[in-house]
Amino acid sequence: MDLSPTRQAGLARLEEFVPRAGRAYTAERNLDRGPTDRTNVSGLSPWVRHRLVTESDVVESVLQQHSLDAASKFVQEVFWRTYWKGWLELRPSVWTRYSATVEPVFVGLSDAERTNFDAAVSGNTGIDGFDDWARELVSTGYLHNHARMWFASIWIFTLRLPWQLGADFFMRHLLDGDPASNTLSWRWVAGLQTVGKTYLATTQNIEAATGGRFRPHGLATQAFAVEDDAPMPVPLAAPHPESLPSGRVALMLHEDDLHAEAFAQSLEASGAQVVAVAAPRVGEPRSTLSPTSALVGAFTVGALNDGLDRAREHFAAEASVLEGIRASDVLPWLQSHDVTALVTPYAPVGPVRDRLDRLTVDLAGEGMTLARMSRTWDSRAWPHATRGFFPFRERIPALVR
């Protein structure tokens, strides 16, 4: 599979997969055949994570060849990502608390837990399958969805390690590492997301779904929900799309959304003239414990470059690479182009959003406005993420229409 971090490569992968997105995907999607055979899944998540290819691109392409009924399982998987983002958007304190606890939880490990942790992340626990997935994750930046669930379950209930450290390990190494999908999936396995409902990996399920490649022994036979002293937060109101400025504006991309050309019509309608475009040199740090993996870092840098190149060409504007998205990086660039405002794609809850929130305050102190451009896909779907996925799922046909 071509893993080039470009929109072109992502669209090529989408075109290749679309014929298999219907009944074939439904029948075979749960099988983990290993890293040499991923033909039963789309493999699109690294591109969708950075919106080099958007969720709308994917669903529209699939429904050109399949009915919604035939492709329902695959379309639901696309909407799971949207649901997780919307759920966290309405409850941002869950992300804030998770990100604040990773380092203290690591520091508080006992000697025995630290030994288990080191063995787990290096793939040296002796647990069949688990060790293979740890090494596969580090070497490829990817794991099948079910392998992620099995891994998380064994991490929490067999190795008795804190779920936050497993989520952090995934975020540092997954090419598609997404704050919402990753954090909330780990919470779900631990029994925190659907309170009291855990996911228990079993030898039989792993053996069946891996075609006998793995048959781990000694797994936990019970999965008691992880205790949490923080109550489930009440959902906030979904964010409203912001009004876009008029006049001379600068457009700054970030790793959460790298298909800025899609906003051109909205910017034109508001009377905005994009005179400069920019993107940071690298992505935001994903962890307070360790650096993001080299694989993830390289893919993110390539994605940022691709998004910037396309934006430069589309808007016929001067392109710049910024050291970061702090005010000290951004303000001199804005001042050099005599713009009235900065516009950027909306960043959902996560590291980029944290940085943009700080930038908004800092720029306001200098008399500069930051406007965030929302996608219709998000603004229509996120308000329905107030409860579990199954009520949200009922909305999918209307959202697709």
What would the CATH number be for the domain defined by 247-373?
3.40.50.620
Taking domain 7-89+382-400, whether its CATH number is 1.10.10.10 is answered by no
Other Cβ atoms closer than 10 A to 261: 14
Is residue 176 a contact partner of residue 46, using CB atoms and an 8 Å limit? yes
Which pLDDT tens digits describe the chain residue by residue (401 residues)?
678 999 999 999 999 999 999 999 999 999 999 999 999 999 999 999 999 999 999 999 999 999 999 999 999 999 999 999 999 999 999 999 999 999 999 999 999 999 999 999 999 999 999 999 999 999 999 999 999 999 999 999 999 999 999 999 999 999 999 999 999 999 999 999 999 899 999 999 999 999 999 999 999 999 999 998 888 999 999 999 999 999 999 999 999 999 999 999 999 999 999 999 999 999 999 999 999 999 999 999 999 999 999 999 999 999 999 999 999 999 999 999 999 899 999 999 999 999 999 999 999 999 999 999 999 999 999 999 999 999 999 999 999 98
Cβ burial, residue 394 (10 Å; 0-12/13-18/19+)? exposed
Q: Torsion angle of alpha carbons 194, 189, 389, 351, nearest 10°? A: 100
Domains 98-209 and 247-373 share a fold: no
The residues spanned by each domain of the chain are 7-89+382-400, 98-209, 247-373
Residue type, 122: S
Strand partners, 341: 249, 369
| Cβ neighbours of 189 (radius 10 Å) | 28
Say which CATH topology domain 98-209 has.
DNA Cyclobutane Dipyrimidine Photolyase, subunit A; domain 3 (1.10.579)
Task: Report helix, strand or coil for 125.
Answer: coil
Cβ burial of 382 (10 Å; 0-12, 13-18, 19+) is buried
